[in-house]
Amino acid sequence: MRDMFAEEGARARRALLRELETYGALRDPAWRAAFAQVPRHLFVPYYYVPGTGGYERLWSGDPDPARRTRWLRGAYRDGALATRVRDGELVSSASQPSLMARMLEALDLQDGHDVLEIGAGTGYHAALLCHRLGDAHVTTVDLDEEITETARAHLAAAGHRPAVITGDGARGCPERAPYDRIVATCEVPSIPYAWLDQCRPGARILAPLSTGLILLVVRDPAHAEGRFLATSAYFVALRGGSARTPRTPTAGVPRRAYEDQRFQFLAGLAGEALDTREALSLWQRERRPERERFGVTVSGGRQWAWLDDPEGPYAWPLPDL
């Protein structure tokens, strides 16, 4: 089917590329080429923006030319887009392009790598991976069949046909394993052990945890360790029978603390393991530590988060998935 927005989309895409380069989000020429050539508007034929009393739907087929233009320009804005809303609740979204660029570059992908993506979303992230690696090296999994069907259609419209699987992302996709990289585009409360089982030695796992991005290096099926990236990250939570919602304590917390992104990150990461006073005391004592001072270790059937040192005094268990 002919893309009637191809020319306008190309101009908008070039503008987005310039914006990402200004932010320093595209250092690798391979990813620059991917963002330059993959048409994002094909993956968001409609999306929702906050409106009076709820969400307003913008779409490519709107009979109003001004609203169509607004839709197209919004598709190339450097921001997250709400793509699926049920009963007023956000179910799926398209991630902010600059954040996607940082995540993809952090994976340090090489030719021939096999990648598992957890959370198919619109299919745009998978399309960028396909552009870099080739369709045969990309697998994307989502629990919602409607989401996977839509992502598959979007990918086909853009000329890509990776493996799009409907299933519980916490269980990975063993039939397509092993993988050199696993990247999640949904928030998890801890690292599913099934992911380690499906990785080659030396693989990397990148996943949103609390409001940060943990980058783990996998030693073997029972061991992985790594630190958080400096950037903040906000994603829709992993859904499925294994999913859990982390607690962010706020009762008794001074306003200066609970409005601080670094405290929100620490509180979400600590969850049930630290009560409100313990989390606040640690945050104050360590002078509002940045995300990159924190890490996660998976070893011998257990996993824990830590500050500065995996064996140091500041460590707490993460829930099992």
DSSP 8-state symbol, 182? E
With the CA atoms of 288, 292, 235 and 146 taken in that order, what torsion angle do they form, in degrees rounded to the nearest 10?
Answer: -160
Give the chain's radius of gyration (CA, Å): 20
DSSP 8-state code for residue 268:
H
Amino acid symbol at 239: R
Identify the pLDDT of residue 108. 97
Q: What is the DSSP letter of 318?
A: P
How many whole angstroms separate alpha carbon 256 and alpha carbon 258? 6
Low-confidence ranges of the chain (pLDDT < 50): 1, 241-247
Q: Determine the pLDDT at residue 244.
A: 47
Let me know if 92 is a catalytic residue: yes
Q: Would you state the pLDDT for residue 250? A: 58
Q: How far is CA 154 from CA 23, 49, 144, 194, in A?
A: 28, 21, 16, 28
- Identify the active-site residue in 60, 92, 242, 281: 92
Task: Using alpha carbons only, give the angle 239, 243, 247 rounded to the nearest 5 degrees.
Answer: 115
What pLDDT, in 10s, does the model give residues 125-146?
Answer: 999 999 999 999 999 999 999 9
Judge whether 247 and 271 are in contact, CB under 8 Å. Answer: yes
Confidence (pLDDT) at 240: 60
Cβ count within 10 A of residue 18 = 10
Predicted TM-score of the model (pTM): 0.93
By the 8 A CB rule, do 238 and 184 touch?
yes
Angle between helices 97-106 and 124-133 (to 10 degrees): 40
Q: Judging by DSSP bridges, how do beta strands 315-317 and 212-220 pair with one another?
A: unpaired
DSSP class of 144: -
pLDDT for position 259: 84
Query: What's CA 261's distance to the chain center, in Å?
Result: 18
Domains of the chain, CATH where assigned: 6-228 (3.40.50.150), 255-317 (no CATH)
Q: Any idea what DSSP says for residue 188?
A: B
Residue 127 tokens read as 């399309």
For 245-286, the pLDDT digits (tens) are 444 555 667 888 878 899 989 988 988 788 878 888 998 999
